[in-house]
Amino acid sequence: MEELIACIAKALVTQPEAVTVTKIQKADLEVYRLHVAPDDMGKVIGKQGKIARALRLVVKAAAVRADVKVAVDIV
pLDDT tens column, 45-68 = 999 999 999 999 999 999 998 899
Q: What is the pLDDT of residue 74?
A: 94
Q: Average of pLDDT values for 5-11?
A: 96
Percent of the chain with pLDDT over 90: 91
Q: Average of pLDDT values for 66-72?
A: 93
Burial of 46 per CB tally in 10 Å (0-12, 13-18, 19+): middle
Helix (H) or strand (E) holding 50: helix 50-66
Q: What is the pLDDT of residue 68?
A: 92
Cα–chain-centroid distance for residue 3? Answer: 10
In terms of pTM, does the model score above 0.85?
yes
In the chain, the DSSP E strands lie at 20-26, 29-35, 69-74
